[in-house]
Amino acid sequence: MKKPTLAAMAVLAAAALVSPATPAVAVDDNVDSSKLRKAVTVNGILQHERALFAIAAKNEGNRASGTKGYDDSVKYVTKKLKKAGLKVKTQTFEFPSYTELAPAALSEISPTAGVLETATVDYSGSGDVTGTVVLAGGTVLPPTPEPSSASGCAAGDFVAAPSTPSVALVQRGTCDFALKVSNAQAAGYDAVVIFNEGQPGRDELLTGVTLGAPTTIPVVGVSYATGAALAAEVEDGPVSVRVTTSTQSEILKTKNILADTPKGKSGTTVVVGAHLDSVLAGPGINDNGSGSSTILEIAEQMKALGYTKKGKLERQVRFAFWGAEEEGLLGSEHYVSSLSAEKISTIYANLNFDMVGSPNYVRFVYDGNGSDTPAAGPAGSAGIEKIFTDYFASQDLATAPTAFDGRSDYGPFIAAGIPAGGLFSGAEGVKTEAEAETFGGTAGVAYDECYHAACDDVTNLNEKALFELGDAAAHATFVLATSKSGLYSDGSRVANQRTKQPAVELPYRGSKAVR
Instruction: Give residues with Cβ within 8 angstroms of 236, minimum separation 6.
Output: none
Please tell me whether residue 36 adopts helix, strand or coil conformation.
helix
Alpha-carbon distances, residue 233 vs 111, 179, 238 (angstroms)? 8, 25, 8
Residue 205 half-sphere exposure, CB side, CA atoms within 13 Å?
Answer: 12
CA 320 to chain centre: 15
Alpha-carbon distances, residue 311 vs 1, 83, 336, 482 (angstroms)? 35, 20, 26, 11
Q: Which of 197, 325, 326, 435 is catalytic?
A: 325
Q: At 51, which helix (H) or strand (E)?
A: helix 42-57
Residue 309: CB atoms within 10 A of its CB come to: 13
Q: Taking a C-beta distance cutoff of 8 angstroms, is the pair 193, 497 a contact?
A: no
Report the alpha-carbon distance of residue 444 to residue 461 in Å, rounded: 19
325 given a catalytic annotation: yes
Backbone angles phi, psi at 381, to 5 degrees: -65, -35
Q: Taking a C-beta distance cutoff of 8 angstroms, is the pair 481, 475 a contact?
A: no
Sort 76 into a burial class: Cβ within 10 Å, 0-12 / 13-18 / 19+: middle
Residue by residue, DSSP assigns 83-103 as HTT-EEEEEEEEEEEEEEEEE
Report the alpha-carbon distance of residue 132 to residue 213 in Å, rounded: 26
Residues with a known catalytic role: 325
